[in-house]
Amino acid sequence: MGSRRRLGDQQVRELVEALRDLRWSWTSKDIDWLIDEFGWTVEYRDEAIVELDIGVGTKSGELVLDDHGGVETISVDLCSRIDRRSAAERWWLQDLFAEAVGLVGQVLGEPTRRRPGAIPEVRWRRSRETLGVVHYSVVVGLFLTPNHWLDFAERYGESDDDD
């Protein structure tokens, strides 16, 4: 695979600080403001999703929208996608996940939840939103979502059997 791209440590910390301090409506009417605020580029938009380039490659971010004009989740990739067939790339991604969890922890403190499994995830739940780091098979991502959406997803869409 070509050269790996990732956000640097300081970029990750600054992104986490910006997401931590973000105060906005969580509605689609403020999406353009949010995109401008973070300097992201829109690649695709419809009523359900806004796909973004956040600086590490095409489709490296997304805003997931609900049916009522709300934003469910802000997701950003912390690196370019890897070739999952390459052991070296998988190890690099595993190291990046551990580094990202450490960097987020420097900003937000101890995580409130760790979810091992096929798609490991570490979360920092705050009063209104949860920020998380996720290790997918080809990328490490960061998400911010309102707690009511996360609670709904866990209640009706996910099993907690792996806890």
Q: How far apart are CA 93 and CA 134, in angstroms?
A: 11
Please answer whether residues 141 and 77 qualify as being in contact, where contact means their C-beta atoms are separated by less than 8 angstroms: yes
Of 48, 55, 70, the closest CA to residue 11 belongs to 55
User: Over the chain, what is the mean pLDDT?
Assistant: 93
Phi, psi (deg, nearest 5) at residue 150: -65, -45
**Residues lower than pLDDT 50 in the chain:** 1, 159-163
pLDDT given at position 159: 47
Two tokens, residue 100: 């990202």
Q: How far apart are CA 55 and CA 44, in angstroms?
A: 15
Quote the pTM value: 0.91
